Structure 1
């Protein structure tokens, strides 16, 4: 009879605290020890996604974790992917395929069915591998969502997974986030939490010894480790949090190629541009205002989850005039996916596939019309 797989879950005090990276590291550690290990995150909300070899869609964090585990990415590792598409609507991807495109509030009406699918996928992985490394989402103690949560503590309780709480000291408020998160947990939830990892520490770790002791004493949980801040990891981001905090893009003195990416409100898969950031002769930055395009010799209109809404935003913001003016001065304009459609004459959405907007005139940089169906 096969023994139950070893399980370990990484919960967070918030988004972008480093859960994904630490889970990736543990996948690699176990893999190097000769243990067959697989990652698992019940639900992701992100516009950065990956298409597997069998044509299914999943979150990028679990893709990196799969590679760290020596595996091909499998949609079972991330059975639910939520992709915001504007107007309080989301596209729900289940088992790598489009399940529904609906208003956000309606998603939770199907939560019992989705929860069953999540646990079915986890059980399949548990039968195949010796160890499962689970990852939570955002804060582990969003009290208003707890009754509908399928990715944090309810998931840990459901599969009896011991957990480690990850906190980000770099953003401040470490005591409130680390100790407060433990205090907001129920007794059965606290029992599952083994201890803390403090992430993104800058400076001399010895100077935080009293802080470590305070966290351990007040939370009654050990601090397993303090991880230093590591700049320029060059690992694809899971969602747009890093982009919204200005962590992406870099202008390098003396660079010959200067690429500006239009920072669309519904930008998707911007991690495709990460290789440019690693080139020493290339500067790449994200432009939220038309004037931020002025120094670029290449302008990229990226992919988007809501093409028509982003097209209208570009016009309202003045990007259309600026891009056309810079093209006349010799700048190269590149459109990818939805950005390519924006460069055409018209975009039509007669069946409201993406939004309530039926049609809009494009930038007319290309002689084509897009009709969504």
Structure 2
């Protein structure tokens, strides 16, 4: 039996959280929330800085008059929400230490549990290979099915992220908060995000990368082989190559974030080396996705942060690559490749390096 996703102490912390939404969602069943259909008022929850693509109708103009900065009003959802969890299970996710797929399963599980604890409805769709979908569940008793489904997921096959998202928007009922966990190592990520944002989902993108992808610690000659197919590439990993790789990665992440900001998508960069519980409990509250017992930052800190924020272009970049320099001697896995170590002797036995 696989190791549980969470311990009971962390689950009790999740019980104190709630999902925030920018607008009222019409559900079929009343959850643990105030419902305008039954005469109760909207429950205001918090503010967060305005970003391009947000609904300007939710701007607090009184606060703008005092602060000269735009802030969005956030509300606890008024009726049952339909929560949509999309999880990338392509082979590139099953890599890194800590493992990207395990981290993404935990992100999905924690977010889903928060929804179930508030009597919302949760649906999980895994894409990779043939893809799997968990029938929607509701209430805390649904957490057993949720955790079991996530623990059984395995990486495999290949993924066309754009095709998956186009199919999803055609079949998904009751758009609501949507959590997408992926490393976005797919050329169609721009089309995929555009498709999701064409329907009234409130999207949070968890861009999951392993520390070995963010800051690879390698030196020498390597053959890079994509775990999802593609021709090998031979490189010489010297200091200049690694510097350019890190610059390209930073630029790629910034472009994705800018693209998301232009469509009202909350972008969260995830480094799997970050302690999971601390990351989940702080980052999603800080980004206005969840509400806890205590606000993670004061309004004035939010103002200061918003003053530093800039708006960048929305052109979609290519994923960072390492350029070929010389014949290979070793191979290992980087963001989109599995490589084998041949040693100094071409006839020696191969070793597989897991990262």
Q: Structure 1-normalised TM-score?
A: 0.29
Instruction: Answer 1 or 2: which has greater strand percent.
Output: 1
Q: Structure 2-normalised TM-score?
A: 0.30
